[in-house]
Amino acid sequence: MTKSHDDTYKAFREAVNMTPAELERWLETDHSREVGWTDGHAKHSASEAESVGHRSGRRIVELKRTAKADLSDDDYAHTAKVVGYVHRHMAQRPAGDVTDTRWRYSLMNWGHDPKKG
Q: Over the stretch 12-62, which tens digit does the pLDDT of each residue have?
A: 999 999 999 999 999 999 999 988 876 666 655 566 678 889 999 999 999
CB-based burial, 87-103: b 16+ in 10 Å, e otherwise: eebeeeeeeeeeeeeee
pLDDT at 94: 96
pLDDT at 49: 76
| 5 or 37: which leads in pLDDT | 5
Total domains in the chain come to 1
CB 45 within 8 A of CB 32: no
Predicted model pTM = 0.89
> Domain containing 30: what range?
3-116
Taking 60 as the threshold, does the pLDDT of residue 1 lie above it?
no
Distance CA 85, CA 14 (A): 13
As a whole-number percent, the residues of the chain with pLDDT over 70 amount to: 87
Handedness of CA 22, 103, 30, 42 (dihedral sign): negative
